[in-house]
Amino acid sequence: MPTTEQLLKGVDLFEQHVKAYDEEFRKRNKLPKNFDYRPYRWCSRDIVFSLLVVKHNRKGNYLEVDVCLISKPPQYVENSGARVALGFLLSESYKCGGSMEIVFTPNVEGGRVPAYICDLAIEMGIKLNYVPKGHISPFEARQLYLELAGFSKEAKERIMKLALEGTISPERICFLIMGGIWTLPEAESMILGSQHPERLLQSTSEPDERHLYLNDLMVASATILGGVLDRKLLKTELFEGGQIVESEDEESPLSIDFDQAYFAKIYRSETDLIIPWIDENKILTSGQQMVVLVRARSDSEIQKYFPKDMSSLKKLIAKYQNDTQTMIFYLIPRDFEDVSLATQSQIIAQLKKVGVYLMISPDNMASLNKEAIRRLETGRRTRQ
C-alpha cells in the first residue's frame, strides 16, 4: 500500500499534469498526441477509482505511467480501483500500438508496480517478475488482460486455441471488450457461437465478398439481438429526488451464460426481474433460470426457418427439462409483425403447445444489421 507521503505527492503531481494539459491543449483547443502526457480520472458518481497520467514512450515503445493512484472503495468489489486502472493501462498500451510493456516512473510509489495492482495480480494468480523495477512485461500484460476481461472458461479455451492457431491475438479480443465495441456476453456469443470468430472480431471480410460478409453480419446481428436483451435485463432504475432515473453503473445481479450448441442465452438472477417483450406478465424469480433461443431473422426467414427453430427449441426443452424452474423463450426481432397474421397465429400456437414463450425484440432486422455494420466497421479500425 502506498504511504501517505506518496499519495499526497501523487495528487500534487496529478494536479500539475492537469494544469499543464489545460495550458497546452484545452486552452489552445488542441488534441494531445499519444506521446503527450494525458491525465485521466476514473470515477463513478462521486467515487474516484483511479487517477492516472500516461503517455506512449516513443523511444521505448512502451506505455509510461507517471501517476497511478488507486482507491479501494468499500462499496465495490475487492480491488475494483486496481481493476479500473489496470484495464485502462492495458487498453491504452494496446491502443497506442506499443509492445504492451507498461513502465511506472519513479513518481509512482518510488518506481515500483503499484501495490494494489500487485494485489490484483495475486488475486488473478499471475506472477509479476519486475515489481521493484516498475515494469509489467508484454508476457505478463497478456495474462493480466485476458484475466481482467472476465471470460468464461469455455471462451478462454477458444481464445487460447485461436491464439495457438495464430488467427487472432488475445489482446485484440480483450481490447474490443474493454474498448466497448462488444460487451463481454456479446463477445462470448461470437467466440463460442461462431465458426470463425476471428473474422468477426478482426472485421476482415469486405462487403464485396458477400458470402463472408453476410455470414459475419448474420452472426453479428444475432449477437447484437442477444446483447439488446442483456442490456434490457441488466438495466436498473433508481428512485432519486422523487423521480425514477436509470442507474449509471448499477446493474441487476444477473448472470449471463451461453449455450453454444444452440446459440441460446441463459440468464439467472439473484433478484426478481420482470421479463420483457413477452405477451404476458412473467417474472424471473431469484434463483430461477431462463433460456433464450436467439434468432435474428427477417419476416421471410421467420416463416421459412420456423420449423428448424422449433426443432432446436424442442431439443432445448429436452436439455433443460430436468430443471422445472427453467423457462424457455424464443427471441426474434420485430420483423415478426410483418409476417402474415395467419402464420403469426400458427407460430404462437405451436410455441404455446410446447411451453415456449415468444419474445419479440423492439429492434427489427434493419436496425440490427445497421448496428452490426457499425460495429464491424469500428472493429476494423482497431489495432490488429
Partner 1 sequence: MMKTNVILVAIPDSECISERLDLRVLITRALKIEARMEKGVNLEDEQRRYQIICDRMEYLGNLISGTKKVEFVNLGENYLELLMLMKKKFPEETKRARVMSNFCPAALVEKHIALFESLARQASLLELEEIKKKIEFYRAAAKQKCHVLELQELVADEETSNSVSFENLKEKFLSLPVNDGITSTLDTNSFMALRSQMNRVIDEVNKGVQTGVNFSDLSHNVITEMLHEFVFGAGKPMYLPVVYADGTKARPFPIHCLKPPEKGKVINLPGPVINVGQLSGRHQEMDPKMNIYFFRNQEISTGKTAAEIDSVSYLEAKKIFERLRKEGVYRIAYYQTGFQPAVVGFYRALTEELLLKGKKAPALEVTPYYFFGHYEKGKTWI
Could you say which DSSP state residue 100 is in?
Answer: S
Nearest to partner 1 of 235, 304 (CB atom)? 304
> Which of 54, 103, 275, 359 is the binder for partner 1 (CB under 8 A)?
103
The answer to whether residues 117 and 86 touch, using CB atoms and an 8 Å cutoff, is: yes
347 sits near partner 1 (criterion: CB under 8 A): no
30 binds partner 1 (CB under 8 A): no
Question: Which residues inside 307-346 make contact with partner 1, applying CB under 8 A?
Answer: 308, 312, 315
Contact between 382 and partner 1 (CB under 8 A)? yes
Query: What is the rounded CA–CA span in Å between residue 286 and residue 266?
Result: 14
Q: Which of 303, 357, 358, 361 lies at the binding interface for partner 1 (CB under 8 A)?
A: 303
Site for partner 1 in 266-285 (CB under 8 A): none
By the rule CB under 8 A, 301 interacts with partner 1: yes
Nearer to partner 1, 76 or 88 (CB): 88
Nearest to 204 by CA among 213, 194, 195: 213
Torsions phi, psi for 94 (to 5 deg) = -65, -45
Task: Establish if 212 lies at the interface with partner 1 (CB under 8 A).
Answer: yes
- Write out the binding residues for partner 1, residues 36-55 only, by CB under 8 A: none
**24 in contact with partner 1 (CB under 8 A):** no
User: Among 143, 252, 350, 378, which residue interacts with partner 1 (rule: CB under 8 A)?
Assistant: 143
Q: Is 337 exposed, middle or buried (0-12, 13-18, 19+ CB in 10 A)?
A: exposed
- State the minimum distance, in angstroms, from the CB of residue 45 to partner 1: 31
Measured distance CA(105)–CA(280) in Å, rounded: 59
DSSP 287: T
Minimum CB–partner distance for residue 217 and partner 1 (Å):
8
Using CB under 8 A, which residues numbered 57 to 86 contact partner 1?
Answer: 58-62
- Among residues 212, 256, 265, the alpha carbon closest in space to that of 234 is found at 256
Q: Which stretch binds partner 1 (CB under 8 A): 75-83, 258-266, 281-289, 354-362?
A: 258-266
Nearest CA to 234 out of 254, 216, 218 is that of 254
Least separation in angstroms between CB 30 and partner 1 = 15
Tell the residue number behind the cell numbers 519486475, with chain if given. 130
Does 305 engage in binding with partner 1 (CB under 8 A)?
A: yes
In whole angstroms, the minimum distance from the beta carbon of 90 to partner 1 comes to 13
Does 203 engage in binding with partner 1 (CB under 8 A)?
no
Span from 39-47, 73-81, 305-313, 348-356 in contact with partner 1 (CB under 8 A): 305-313
Whichever of 47 and 218 has its CB closer to partner 1, that residue is 218
CA distance 219 to 298: 14
Is 152 near partner 1 (CB under 8 A)?
Answer: no
CA distances from 143 to 100, 121, 146, 190, 260 (A): 11, 9, 5, 21, 25
Contacts by residues 269-272 (CB-CB < 8 Å, ≥ 24 positions apart) = 269/233
- 121, 174, 178, 219: which one binds partner 1 (CB under 8 A): 219
Q: Cα–Cα distance between 365 and 343 in angstroms, integer?
A: 19
The size of the interface with partner 1 (CB under 8 A), counted in residues, is 72
Task: Tell me how far, at minimum, the Cβ of 288 lies from partner 1, in Å.
Answer: 24
Q: Per residue in 225-246, is it b (16+ CB within 10 Å) or e — as a string?
A: bbbbbbebbbeeeeeeeeeeee
When binding is defined by CB under 8 A, the residue of 38, 83, 135, 375 that contacts partner 1 is: 135
Tell me if 27 contacts partner 1 by CB under 8 A.
no
Buried b (16+ CB within 10 A) or exposed e, 92-101: bbbbbebebb
